[in-house]
Amino acid sequence: MSSTPTLFQRRRSLTPAELSDIPWLQHLSPDEQAIALTDLTISQALPGDLICRVGRPVTYWFGVVEGLLKMSTDSADGQPMTFTGVPPGGWFGEGTVLKRESYRYNIQALRKSEVAGLPVETFHRLLDHSLGFNRFVMNQINERLGQFIAAREIDRMNNPDLRVARNLAALFNPALYPGVGAVLRITQQELAYLVGLSRQRVNEALTTLEAQGVIRVEYGGVRVLDLAGLRTRSFNAQAS
In a domain, 69, yes or no: yes
pLDDT recorded at residue 240:
39
Query: E strand or H helix at 106, and its extent?
Result: strand 106-109
Report percent pLDDT > 70 for the chain.
90
**Is residue 171 domain-resident?**
yes
Same domain, 162 and 97: no
* Segments in the chain forming alpha helices (H): 16-19, 30-39, 94-99, 120-129, 131-155, 160-171, 188-195, 199-211, 227-239
**pLDDT above 80 for 74:** no
208 in a structural domain: yes
Percent of the chain with pLDDT over 90: 70
Same domain, 76 and 43: yes
For residue 196, pLDDT beyond 60: yes
Does residue 8 form part of some domain? no
- Helix 160-171 and helix 188-195: axis angle, to 10°? 100
Q: Which pLDDT does position 158 carry in this prediction?
A: 73
State whether 93 and 164 are in the same domain. Answer: no
Residue that terminates a domain, selected from 122, 152, 182 = 152
Same domain, 133 and 180: no
Tell whether 67 and 88 lie within a shared domain: yes
What does DSSP assign to residue 107?
E
Domain range for 117 is 16-152
- Residues 6 or more apart from 79 whose CB is under 8 A from it? none
**Domain presence at residue 78:** yes
Q: Which whole number is the average pLDDT over 27-50?
A: 96
Whether 146 and 35 map to the same domain: the answer is: yes
pTM here is 0.88
* Number of domains the chain contains: 2
Contact 13, 41 (CB under 8 A): yes
